[in-house]
Amino acid sequence: MRKQHLTTILGAVLIIGSSGAFVPTDTHAEEAANADVDGRRTLNDIEQEGLTRITEGQQAQQQVDRLGDQNRQLQDDYYAELKLVQGLETYIELLDQQLENQQEEISTLQRSITDVAVVERQILPLMVRMIDTLEQFVALDVPFLPDERRERVAKLRALMNRSDVAVAEKSRRVFEAYQIENEYGRTIESYTDKLQLPTGTFDAEFLRIGRLGLMYATVGASEVGYWDKASNSWQPLDRTPWSRMIDQGLKVARQEIAPQLIHVPLNPAQVEEQVQ
């Protein structure tokens, strides 16, 4: 009875195979299969999760790289804009300096304009006095080119009354007239003009040597003479000794012969008295 009962228990629990191994019953085999399937699923899940994390890491790295590139680009743009701002600041400083200099120039010009107005009020009367002096000088000077010189003075007087001519131009013309008169004192010149003598009016050729001497020879050299400062009149000369000297001087003045030393006494009348 005991032996039969043990056999029944063993038969219910285990089945001994021909290989000597224990073979589980149907219930245990199903549980083992399910456990194996669960293990494989767990490994697959782990592997899949690892791949997912790797992919996410790669994506995160790519995003980091993009952000780094964007950061570097922004940094480059910042430095470029910074240089531009610095250049503009330097440019603005230069403009400020130029504006300051221009303001100083404007102030200087305004003061100059004011000064010019004052000078203009003073220089116009001065020029009128200069013209008066020039007219007196021409009247008292050796009477060479009398019409030309008097006409120059008359034009200056008319110029002073013109409102369309600037003060600077008026001043230039006045000083130019003085310069011309100054040049007469150190040049030699010949010209033709009418000669008024007590015996009548003659066409004559004049020889001016600076302001030291003024001589004449009538057309055809029939008469020769000179301007006597002492008597303030024309005085005749002996044609024989003076005609050749005056003719030589006229040729030099007309540049018909080479420049040469001309012997012309300052007072021909005294020379004639000594000769006599």
Cα–Cα nearest to 122, from 159, 171, 179: 171
Cα–Cα nearest to 157, from 139, 186, 179, 134: 134
> Is the pLDDT score of 258 beyond 60?
yes
Contact 262, 249 (CB under 8 A): yes
Confidence label for 110 from pLDDT (cuts 50, 70 and 90)? confident
pLDDT in tens, 33-84: 555 656 666 878 788 888 888 888 888 888 888 888 888 899 888 988 988 9
Of 37 and 191, more confident: 191
pLDDT in tens, 244-257: 888 888 899 888 88
pLDDT in tens, 161-182: 998 998 889 999 999 999 999 9
Q: Give the contacts of 152 (CB within 8 A, at least 6 positions apart).
A: 177, 180
Q: Give the contacts of 206 (CB within 8 A, at least 6 positions apart).
A: 144, 190, 191, 192, 193, 195, 214, 215, 216
pLDDT at 17: 41
Q: What are phi and psi of 35, to 5 degrees?
A: -65, -40
pLDDT at 92: 93
Give the pTM: 0.57
pLDDT at 151: 96
Confidence label for 10 from pLDDT (cuts 50, 70 and 90)? very low
pLDDT in tens, 111-156: 888 877 777 788 889 999 999 999 999 999 999 999 999 999 999 9
Domain ranges of the chain: 75-184, 188-276
pLDDT at 12: 42
pLDDT in tens, 18-42: 444 444 445 555 665 555 656 666 8
